[in-house]
């Protein structure tokens, strides 16, 4: 049976033995590399975990932390860098517009639009737990009065919007596996 060679960054000892003839510089470079990778992994995980904490970027609710459901199978929040890029492109189109977010998740896209000056937002999600999170986030940002929250799938929401309500901006970010 073959033995597998496992490298652990929690230990600075190599998973092998250096030959007695290996010079000290090579041993030192190995230790520096292990320490660097260990530090890089910690820094990366800290940055990633901070990015996962969603917030309203700017506007009337600037800096408000939003909650989301656990697990990417249920909701897959748009990361902050992507959200910032989207709103940089449409920033001057938001003022006074009605916004529709068909796959709401946490409601962050519609709430960001409201925070930046949109007139109203209709947020739809078929998951009841997600709808509860959207409601809490809307209350937390103090934008609940401008928000209409629907607990239905996207087809029913579109059919329900045929009453003459018009939307200037529509966000469509469906879960990967379903659509």
Given a cut of 80, whether residue 179 has pLDDT beyond it is no
What tens digit of pLDDT does each residue of 33-88 get? 555 555 555 444 444 444 457 899 999 999 999 998 876 555 667 778 888 889 98
Strands (E), 4-158: 98-101, 120-125, 147-151
pLDDT for 118: 95
For 16-31, how does the pLDDT look when each residue is reduced to its tens digit (9 = 90+)? 444 554 455 555 555 5
The full length of the chain comes to: 179
- Summarised one tens digit per residue, pLDDT across range 109-148 is 999 999 999 999 999 999 999 999 999 999 999 999 999 9
pTM (2 d.p.): 0.69
The Cα-based distances of 57 to 34, 97, 171 in angstroms read: 37, 19, 17
* Spatial CA neighbour of 130 closest among 172, 93, 77: 77
The pLDDT of residue 176 is 63
């Amino acid at each position: 049976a073959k033995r597998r060679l496992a490298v652990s960054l929690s230990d600075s000892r190599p998973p092998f033995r250096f030959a007695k003839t290996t010079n000290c510089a090579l041993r030192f470079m190995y230790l520096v590399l292990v320490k660097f990778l260990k530090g890089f992994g910690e820094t990366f995980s800290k940055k990633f975990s901070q990015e996962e904490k969603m917030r309203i970027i700017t506007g009337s609710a600037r800096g408000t932390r939003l909650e989301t459901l656990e697990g990417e199978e249920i909701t897959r929040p748009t990361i902050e860098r992507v959200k910032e890029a989207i709103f940089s492109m449409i920033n001057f189109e938001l003022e006074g517009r009605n916004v529709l977010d068909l796959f709401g998740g946490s409601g962050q896209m519609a709430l960001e639009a409201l925070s930046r000056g949109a007139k109203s937002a209709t947020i739809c999600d078929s998951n009841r737990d997600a709808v509860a999170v959207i409601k809490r986030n809307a209350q937390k940002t103090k934008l609940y009065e401008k928000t209409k929250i629907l607990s239905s799938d996207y087809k029913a929401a579109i059919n329900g919007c045929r009453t003459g309500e018009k939307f200037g901006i529509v966000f469509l970010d469906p879960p990967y596996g379903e659509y």
